[in-house]
Structure 1
């Protein structure tokens, strides 16, 4: 009898990194596969699932207006637990560090269902940075039976915390699988992508993403002031910023950067459109986690507008620099990459530390072996 594996996800980043894994499992046909969506990111989540032709078995539709983390977490725990008590899978698979992930891990634990954690072992060692993701990671690691660490540094973090070496597997990051797949389809002309005709391909373009809670308030204002200063001093460079809908981000961005000739403030983009922008960019300013993994795959230097990063591999390999979120630091480091060609070349050609695009295959084989070993025991 086939084992049942349930993938639980709720946000666009989870979908980006889990969809190629789900696709691989479905193609192999070895397991009964179910997909549970919490709907933590509504439309953005389905953009990715639709691209992979993945239809969730159930959508819990947990999000409501002005929902607090406590409200989301408690509702997710109850609803996911109710689903699992009915579905009774042999294993759940979660990815990353969202509220969905932590609640799913807790729900599976209460239902005595084993947990496999994709992208396990990322740490800043600061419980409040990023918030609440660092706590979500720690809780999920404690409860997981299988840890899919993207890098050896992530594996080392788990070992230091006392997790068994036999339960930790270094697979690379599944976002590389997703990105290489999309890049191949882009090159073959298989994808109908947004053309972004307002951009002149002869001009350098800097892509910006900024949305984290840690950037709310003074942080996002400093980021915007740096962009404004750069746009004034480099009129021949374009600055493209898909702006998050959260008013804590959108309001200061619009008040500082709106109506600047070479600054383009866009609505949140689909993943395929974002990859198109990323591929066309000269460098990236971001406070995101996933972009630190995606950009090096396309040879784009990354300036990380945070004080701490759970992805030290990118810093160590030279593909990214941690610059914080002060105007002075963002401005000076961006100028350096615009003016210093050797430094730019060094970063753009640094080796991507996040894998070879075969993480999905490795994860599948490890889970298959997990069940075979348990059956034999």
Structure 2
């Protein structure tokens, strides 16, 4: 029996940090095959070529999609979305994923959702239903929601908003913020180590 191919798209180091433990879980599941597509800031020397961080963490990147035009103007961003859509269309045709995992509201994620929609590949969207007043991020986020099939939101308020957008309640799940996965796995300093590292005595402080 062939493994189900789960394609995770990541465009920034911050978003990759939120996806890290999900990617680990997929990678360790014997019934799943993790595919990774890196794009956006990950491939930019200006932002440190952070795709290398993904590889240093032990992941294999299946595709890299170059989209940046070193411009934050409206026409520059629009051209980047166009390049990204073409790149994702070609990548998805080559990788043939069973489902695509997208997080958030960046424009390269919008491009991935558009390409997946036309290719009839199901999309699982994380962190939908949130609000960002005064920026076009919110419109992009809601557009991605409408192009997605499974929704994993971080709070009940956001679940209600996704349902208000017309998505079937049975496909909208409140799984909490993905950043909590990292927090729950953090190795915290014990009292003695904290005092030693910060050179203070706990007893001298009243909380």
TM-score with structure 2 setting the length? 0.81
Query: Deviation string for 1:226-284 (max 9, x for gaps)?
Result: xxxxxxxxxxxxxxxxxxxxxxxxxxxxxxxxxxxxxxxxxxxxxxxxxxxxxxxxxxx
Summarize deviations over 1:312-357 as a string: whole Å, max 9, x none: xxxxxxxxxxxxxxxxxxxxxxxxxxxxx9xxx8xxxxxxxxxxxx
| Whole-angstrom distance in 2 between the partners of 1:45 and 1:150 | 26
Q: Which residue of 2 aligns with 1:56?
A: 61
Q: Which residue of 2 aligns with 1:116?
A: 124
Give ranges in structure 1 of 5+ residues lacking alignment.
189-196, 203-340, 346-377
Alpha-carbon shift at residue 13 of structure 1 (Å): 2.1
Residue 75 of structure 1: how far off its partner (Å): 0.8
Aligned-partner SS, 1:141: helix
Pairing partner for 2:179 from 163, 175, 181: 175
- Give me the whole-angstrom Cα distance separating, in 2, the residues matched to 1:19 and 1:44: 17
How far apart, in 2, do the equivalents of 1:47 and 1:88 lie?
24
Moved beyond 6 Å, runs of 4+: none
Partner residue in 2 for 1:29: 30
Look up the match of 1:262. none
The total of aligned residue pairs comes to 188
CA offsets 1:161-211 (integer angstroms, 9 cap, x no match): 221100101101111112333x31x649xxxxxxxx9xx877xxxxxxxxx
Q: Deviation string for 1:115-166 (max 9, x for gaps)? A: 0001121124x4xx2x231121011000110000111111011122221100
Offset from partner CA, 1:65-115 (integer Å, 9 cap, x none):
235211211111110111111211110000111112111100100111110
SS of the residue corresponding to residue 41 of structure 2 reads coil
TM-score by length of structure 1 reads 0.46
What SS does the aligned partner of 1:77 have? helix
The answer on whether the counterparts of 2:122 and 2:149 sit within 8 Å (CA) in structure 1 is: yes
Q: Determine if contact 1:11/1:44 at 8 Å carries over to the other structure.
A: no
CA distance in 2, matches of 1:164, 1:35: 28
Structure 2 distance, partners of 1:201, 1:55, is: 42
- What is the alpha-carbon root mean square deviation over aligned residues? 2.4
Query: Counterparts of 1:1-377 in structure 2 under 5 Å?
Result: 1-41=2-42, 42=44, 43=48, 45-46=50-51, 48-50=53-55, 52-66=57-71, 68-124=76-132, 126=133, 129=134, 131-181=135-185, 183-184=186-187, 187=189
Note if contact 2:104-2:141 (Cα within 8 Å) is conserved in structure 1.
Answer: yes
Secondary structure class of the residue paired with 2:34:
strand
Extract unaligned runs of 5+ from structure 2: 191-196, 201-205
